[in-house]
Amino acid sequence: MPETSQFDAVGTSGTQPNTDASPSERVRTACAYGNYEQLTAAVEEDPDLLSTPDEMGYYPLQWAALNNRVGIIAYLIDKGVNVNRADGTGQTALHWAAVRGSLLAAEALLGNEADLRLRDGRGYTACHVAAQYGQTAFIYMVALRWRADVDSPDVDGRTPLHWAAYKGYANTLRLLIVLEASLTLGDREGCTPLHWAAIRGNSEACTVLLQAGAGSVLNAPDSTGMVPAQLAREKGHRFLAHYLEEYASRHVNKSRHWTQRAAVSWLLNTQLCPLIWALILGLLAALVYKVVLHPAYGPPSSAMLAWTWICVLLASAGLVLLYKTTTSDPGFLPCRDSEQQSKGKDENGPQYDRLKALDSAVLRAGNWNQLCVTCKIVRPLRAKHCAVTNRCVAMFDHFCPWVGNCIGAGNRHLFALFLWLEMGAILVAAGLAAARLRWGGQNMGEGAMTWTAVFLVVDVFLGLSVGALSVTQAMQIAKNTTTNEMANWTRYKYLHGDDGTFRNPFNRGCWQNCSEAMCGKSGTAVQLHPESIELTSLLKMEEGQNTNGLPYRQ
């Protein structure tokens, strides 16, 4: 593809024919800027101009494809132009459409028998070019609708995944990985996509690749004998090199880690849950035996006994809900492999299953972050991959080490009820301890007062933490938001208003929000991206895309 500087003389409007320009230059300008009148006037003078390259060796159809001029493309095809004609570099109009991600132009070309398998002089298909320019939508369209091969190597053995990693286009990486592009394939230099991401210092690309399972190549040397961490350090990316070395160390010791995990699996799975059980039961025992029934205070009144029973019942009910929160499914989404095993193979084969799973309105709207490279699925809105459980969770709120489980669509209501019941028990217990200190009697000993004071301090301290969580959960349930969304809303397009500020499209009013949440519903019924959204909605600017209307090459 030509350099931008070669077209400094081309006008930016393209609305009036340049009488001083050559006929081929007028045709090129007309095709690039969609000037139908200028094009037809030039063709009337010389019809051969449509199949004649300009001074730089490029054809009119390529200029129209680059700039997404669908009307011009239709006119050229109607005039018998060959859609697969290549220029001197071997690139066709489809290659040029891939530079800008011109979806409508690509659709018009492919609908008229343009060949996605054609390669230029360097072995690039249109998918290679799209990956080099970060045109995720283009790759999505040609893979989903035209079954393009997104994992073929060029003459140097590099696939589109290599190029996306080298250029640092994380969204393109996500899509290619979910389309089952190879993470371990080395090029002629022995470099995998992770090697190239490390060479360029693309930390986000490295993270995406490692999340997808590229850790197996962390200790794989290239043709020079260097691993990704060494390549990153040699290029001056010290922090990335340190990160890769740490990850490699954990990956090498993974088998030993899992052996240890098997020995203490219960403790690791439950995290800090046993501690919170011991704390609640210990405080209950201290309340009963060191505050209410302590001999120094004398026999408790019937009212104090009644409130004590209320406190014990609230705390016990909270523990039941804690157990349910810990052991229940928080809303784990099935991974692609498990989903295919449960449903069986489709008659069209596994590749068709993968593409069918990607036919999502969420992706058609350009939300590439909804692709999970670990589970190989399209996450629904409000879902997130949990790094601790290594699973995607529907309506992910957060991972709570105190309950040893994720909080999501399946157990969020249980978690909230647990907090509220325990908060009620804490308040009642604090009232009982304060009453004992205030009206415990004249003859109570220092030991009884010390026990009660210590209990009250611990109870109040615990109440501050539980109270903050209780209020936060109550506010988020009332507004139908989650902890993850409030902390990371800038990353989610569906939470952005027209002016870029936070907008909650799931808020249906306090009463309905609460009723849905406490019934265990996910609260995702709002259809933000209906199935009628066309592929052309993906024409939003992708990273690395030029905006001045002129072709360019990085």
User: For this structure, is 400 an active site residue?
Assistant: yes
**331: closest CA among 530, 468, 528, 523?**
523
Question: Do residues 366 and 537 lie in contact, with contact meaning Cβ atoms separated by under 8 Å?
Answer: yes
Question: What tokens does 436 get?
Answer: 């004992």
Cα angle 31, 34, 37; round to 5: 90
Q: Which amino acid is at 165?
A: A
The distance from CA 61 to its chain's CA centroid, rounded to whole angstroms, is: 36
The DSSP code sequence of 377-431 is: EEPPTT-EEETTTTEEETT--EEETTTTEEESTTTHHHHHHHHHHHHHHHHHHHH
Q: Pick the catalytic residue from 31, 127, 372, 400.
A: 400
Question: Do residues 177 and 206 lie in contact, with contact meaning Cβ atoms separated by under 8 Å?
Answer: no
Helix and strand numbers (H, E) in the chain are: 25, 6
The DSSP code sequence of 111-136 is: TTT--TT---TT---HHHHHHHTT-H
Question: Do residues 72 and 39 lie in contact, with contact meaning Cβ atoms separated by under 8 Å?
Answer: yes
For residues 153-186, one letter each, b for 16 or more C-beta atoms within 10 angstroms of the residue's C-beta and e for the rest, the string is: bbeeebbbbbbbbbbbbbbbbbbbbbbebebebb
Q: How far is CA 283 from CA 69, 244, 423, in A?
A: 73, 45, 13
- Within 10 Å of residue 45's Cβ, how many Cβ atoms? 9
Question: Do residues 246 and 219 lie in contact, with contact meaning Cβ atoms separated by under 8 Å?
Answer: no
Question: What tokens does 110 get?
Answer: 């492919």
Mind telling me the catalytic residues? 400
